[in-house]
């Protein structure tokens, strides 16, 4: 099994990127890979309760459903610790399954063989 790391820095301002990111992440999970999505910059909002509700762009399913499926299927939802601070986001704001992490977690995933893709 490989480790796929998807990096996403967009939120409501680019729903298509978010939808594509989680579509790719879910496909990788379905193929038996370990998958982590690293949310940075505005992307960190996608890990907060209610943020993705109502966000959708054709031809993708609703973004909230894609995120929830990813978490439900065992994906690692990493939220950039530096990025959440200026936005006032804390652990209590996060959906179940999301974890605030530091850069070291991402770096470890990369140096231990994780393949990265960025949106």
Residues 6+ apart with CB under 8 A from 18: 8, 10, 11, 43, 46, 52, 55, 63, 66, 119
- What domain range includes position 90? 3-118
The CATH number assigned to the domain holding 21 equals: 3.40.1260.10
pLDDT in tens, 11-54: 999 999 999 999 999 999 999 999 999 999 999 999 999 999 99
Domains of the chain: total: 1
pTM: 0.95
């Amino acid at each position: 099994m490989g480790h796929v790391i998807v990096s996403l820095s967009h939120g409501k301002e680019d729903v298509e990127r978010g939808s594509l990111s989680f579509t790719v992440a879910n496909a990788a999970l379905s193929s038996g890979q370990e998958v982590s999505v690293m949310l940075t910059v505005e992307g960190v909002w996608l890990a907060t309760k209610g943020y993705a509700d109502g966000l959708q762009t054709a031809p993708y399913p609703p973004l909230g459903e894609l995120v929830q499926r990813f978490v439900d299927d065992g994906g690692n939802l990493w939220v950039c610790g530096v990025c959440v601070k200026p936005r006032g986001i804390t652990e209590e704001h996060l959906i179940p399954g999301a974890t605030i992490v530091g850069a070291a977690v991402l770096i470890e995933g990369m140096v231990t063989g994780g393949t990265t893709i960025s949106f």
